[in-house]
Structure 1
């Protein structure tokens, strides 16, 4: 606290003592700290601005998400969907929905599913040819690749329930950036050029991506007047415009003209859903994360619990490694691969949209089940991928942000178009990109999607079904306080990136910045014995893993973690050096009533 603020408080206290009116304390402002970790500087600036204006974490999240739809078009979106994990101990909700989310009121945790849905015209075999083979790229590029978007409805519903500032106020920063423009970064310019080349020969129907985003140059001021008009309509009419109004009609007209699947009936029928978050106990923490149709929360709790159950076995292997001259990193990397194989086998078999299948969440994260799953983990050799069955009973592009306000409310939000720039289709007149999330279904059970992840019948395509995801917005609580807010983009590597970041902070005692910048490794059952890594591993570790029988691949991209950590002394905020994010901890003056 600076000298001026201290003097102001002392003078106010003296005034109260002389007047005897203790109720005047209600007008005093105290400095508390808020923290944000955002994927770009524009969203960080707006999140900070909203919090300093008196908004809560949800206000900042809504405003930031709309800003990213302007400044981060490769993943920030109106035409996609996502998930939001919330902790709201200081937000009074007079009329909470009477749904499954009410079961979590004691913890003040909530989860909003605004994932895309398959259109009514979708069918299980829609991406297969006459020989029952997957048609390359049909679920990824073009007009039939999109699910019904959920982002606008999700932001509207969370605003109606938890926000404190007006909807129009929260959209104004995005409107101004769309109208007046923003400076194109090297990341955006490079990604747009890559995507333009990548889609060039992958759609039989001409796409309009290049006319909107194909010629971006570093330092160029990008203005998006069509998008600005769309945001103004949404600011005035709320979600109604996007799902029933002029924007809805623009979307359907263009998609139907090119044999797309989404209709006005699909849009009118879309709702985001409040679901019960996954909550797991681990080392005294409550790990709160994404339930199905995300696989992330279950997988992260499974990884953390199995690691803890097998810690003695790991410690013995590390001791033996030190005696024999092997690198400890080699043993830990192999250990993570053994755990991850089992988790991804469960993912493929059990997980899908809980509105369509029964997902045994409690069983999958139970101590007993995971002890059984961990029995086959080997520390001296590689388990055969073909023998690992389920237990008995996303170039990926997404974006994530983490926010904690000065009252202790927290938002962990991950949303996406799937591939960078989604399907390559821009809605003309409205200025936003459409998702290509239909590829996240099992287009054919047993066949891998663009991220190499194999799915099963549980994730087969069906009308109004939500496709399985790896997005893992996560919050860690301890003794009723937020200790960590974390998440990342990265397709199938999201789960392993969040898991390793949590371990880096809690068990490896790293700072927030060290935890997100540390090398990460990834194994997802198939391809067999392949370990991906980023940014690099020591040569000795690579040689030792190859001698064990692994093949190694350096991923050009493995997440962009946005992390907030509550230490004993202060908040730490970190944005991954793999991206262009910004992380801040800052003071916010908040009115406080004192007796």
Structure 2
């Protein structure tokens, strides 16, 4: 195993407005297997399973559970997950959807009339957690390692405690007041009602016990009995509609991922009701129908090209992709060659300037009402595992916002999601309008790519509304422009904001800092000439997230890349 922790400070001068690569990534070359996750403890847990004879799904489960302890703001037992798995024997890519549905007894009118904060924090924002069931279902289908041994590292870490790092504290601090409003969350995740300092060790004995029940009884250890009852009791005490039947009846979905062909690869991502996969795949394939080659650098031409495609796709995805009976067919129709040629045509004639007539993207006043996950602090993390045989997992897990609903049911230690905040509540005709026993949309976009049936890439990123645009950049660079994986992660990022009200601009591009003032000014001037407004964003993990990936290199070597904008870590043998 060869470890490369590298920083590139040399500007790539293809065009004056290209950003120089200034980020840092943790890179590992391996020959047997590789893993990259959001925290070193999770990476170590997964690698230990691989070394002890477990497979990539086993390793992903151990890493996922440990990650939920090590990054309590980003994911955990109280949240959701989407898992893609490439089986080297069959060549098939499968998807496990384990999202967080609303309660069967949800009073939709009452929910939509709640203040925005109550749909975002507190038990009315909580959906039935999906991650525990999703992991256990994946294990029952593909796992080989003893189940209890997969859960043990997470339980041990919860008991021993996690150490707060600078990167973690940066993600923690904005939610200090939210956590302080819940006695259990405050006791577990604050010190004297303040964000814990760097170096503080936080133990969670209740979570350790919850994990041990999960280890002893599998999914039933979470969805039936003590854990489920404690969560239901706390929710009902707060007036929320969750019931024991919501928990005992929960089932994850095994389904087919969406897929498109792109530059000789078959690229797979998340299906409906997730919007991220459709957005990434449609933009990738439609880009091949536009004139001229894809720019190698992330310069003004690159941003303009994908910005135009995203401007056309955002409203279409909003109108069509959600938890509806028609969603599967609509999603595949969106990815048809005829549709994507039309998307490319519309993108080419679009004028990004919001004062210009825009017949392509005219939205009704409330059509863009998408819920809260579009906000700054979407709490998500991603992990990837692969082996030399070609088995590969790409898994994204989330609480929606950082620290989810900022509540912990007494005696469980589990931070609960706020997936209900992702429902539309202002436009009744929206396919994502709140409903009972319904899944809210999400931008989660795990990716697996193959070429001639063999795996080439697994990648995913956190970042709320930014997930599809950042994933698009990594995949387009590596599979389209053949940029080395490490370089693709080091490059500064951009994001075309997705309006969540009709009054918000449709041409605002966020630019991650990563250049001199002169270079960034040149880039902004060139984009303004093309009709784009821009804002600067700091180069950290709060806005543009982190992310992890594994690629297959010539000769069969694996390279794992962990983006150190956050606490990500890569390893392998």
Whether TM exceeds 0.5 here: the answer is yes
Contact 1:145 1:435 in 2 (8 A): yes
Corresponding residue number in structure 2 for 1:276: 256
Distance 2:215 2:244 in 1: 21
Corresponding residue number in structure 2 for 1:471: 444
Structure 2 matches for 1:300-315, cutoff 5 A? 300-312=280-292
Distance 2:83 2:276 in 1: 12
Corresponding residue number in structure 1 for 2:206: 226
Q: Partner of 1:404: helix, strand, or coil? A: strand
Corresponding residue number in structure 2 for 1:258: 238
Q: Does 2:320 align with 1:350? A: yes
| Residue in structure 1 matching 2:360, options 376, 388, 391 | 388
Report the alpha carbon displacement of residue 265 of structure 1 after superposing the two structures with TM.
1.1
Corresponding residue number in structure 2 for 1:462: 435
Larger Rg: 1
Corresponding residue number in structure 2 for 1:298: 278
Contact 1:489 1:559 in 2 (8 A): yes
Report the alpha carbon displacement of residue 583 of structure 1 after superposing the two structures with TM.
1.5
Corresponding residue number in structure 1 for 2:402: 420
Corresponding residue number in structure 2 for 1:399: 381
Corresponding residue number in structure 2 for 1:484: 457
Q: Deviations over 1:288-338 (max 9, x none)?
A: 1111111122211111111111042878xx9xxxxxxxx981122122111
Report the alpha carbon displacement of residue 207 of structure 1 after superposing the two structures with TM.
5.2
Contact 2:179 2:407 in 1 (8 A): no
Q: Which runs of 4+ in 1 moved over 6 A?
A: none
| Residue in structure 1 matching 2:185, options 203, 209, 212 | 209
Report the alpha carbon displacement of residue 499 of structure 1 after superposing the two structures with TM.
0.8
Corresponding residue number in structure 2 for 1:95: none
Corresponding residue number in structure 1 for 2:482: 509
Corresponding residue number in structure 1 for 2:68: 69
Distance 1:360 1:514, change over 3 A: same
Corresponding residue number in structure 2 for 1:543: 525
Q: Deviations over 1:101-121 (max 9, x none)?
A: xxxxx6411000001101112
Corresponding residue number in structure 2 for 1:322: none
Contact 2:351 2:358 in 1 (8 A): no
Corresponding residue number in structure 2 for 1:117: 101
Report the alpha carbon displacement of residue 396 of structure 1 after superposing the two structures with TM.
1.7
TM-score (norm 1): 0.82
Distance 1:224 1:525, change over 3 A: closer
Q: Partner of 1:232: helix, strand, or coil? A: helix
Report the alpha carbon displacement of residue 577 of structure 1 after superposing the two structures with TM.
2.8
Corresponding residue number in structure 2 for 1:336: 306
Distance 1:547 1:406 in 2: 48
Corresponding residue number in structure 2 for 1:7: none
Q: Deviations over 1:244-276 (max 9, x none)?
A: 111011111111111122110111111001011
Corresponding residue number in structure 2 for 1:84: 83
Q: Does 2:567 align with 1:580? A: yes
Q: Deviations over 1:210-252 (max 9, x none)?
A: 2210222211222111111111111001110211111011111
Q: Does 2:547 align with 1:571? A: no
Contact 2:353 2:531 in 1 (8 A): no
Q: Deviations over 1:63-84 (max 9, x none)?
A: 1111012111011210111210
Report the alpha carbon displacement of residue 572 of structure 1 after superposing the two structures with TM.
1.6
Distance 1:372 1:582, change over 3 A: same
Distance 1:525 1:436 in 2: 20
Distance 1:232 1:524, change over 3 A: same
Distance 1:163 1:500, change over 3 A: same
Q: Partner of 2:299: helix, strand, or coil? A: helix
Distance 1:124 1:387 in 2: 34
Report the alpha carbon displacement of residue 533 of structure 1 after superposing the two structures with TM.
2.3
Corresponding residue number in structure 2 for 1:560: 546
Distance 1:178 1:487 in 2: 26
Distance 1:560 1:79 in 2: 21
Contact 2:112 2:434 in 1 (8 A): no
Corresponding residue number in structure 2 for 1:248: 228
Report the alpha carbon displacement of residue 510 of structure 1 after superposing the two structures with TM.
2.1
Contact 2:275 2:443 in 1 (8 A): yes
Distance 1:386 1:259, change over 3 A: farther
Gaps of 5+ in 2: 3-29, 364-372
Q: Partner of 2:83: helix, strand, or coil? A: strand
Distance 1:383 1:251, change over 3 A: same
Corresponding residue number in structure 1 for 2:17: none
Report the alpha carbon displacement of residue 409 of structure 1 after superposing the two structures with TM.
0.8
Distance 1:583 1:423, change over 3 A: same
Gaps of 5+ in 1: 3-30, 91-105, 319-326, 447-455, 587-595
Report the alpha carbon displacement of residue 125 of structure 1 after superposing the two structures with TM.
3.2
| Residue in structure 1 matching 2:416, options 431, 434, 448 | 434
Report the alpha carbon displacement of residue 584 of structure 1 after superposing the two structures with TM.
2.3
Structure 2 matches for 1:510-525, cutoff 5 A? 510-525=483-498
Distance 1:33 1:328, change over 3 A: closer
Q: Partner of 1:178: helix, strand, or coil? A: helix
Report the alpha carbon displacement of residue 548 of structure 1 after superposing the two structures with TM.
3.8
Q: Does 2:107 align with 1:152? A: no
Contact 1:516 1:563 in 2 (8 A): no
Q: Partner of 1:217: helix, strand, or coil? A: coil
Distance 2:208 2:362 in 1: 48
Distance 2:338 2:537 in 1: 35
Distance 2:257 2:156 in 1: 35
Report the alpha carbon displacement of residue 346 of structure 1 after superposing the two structures with TM.
1.4
Distance 2:62 2:351 in 1: 50
Distance 1:328 1:81, change over 3 A: closer
Corresponding residue number in structure 2 for 1:451: none
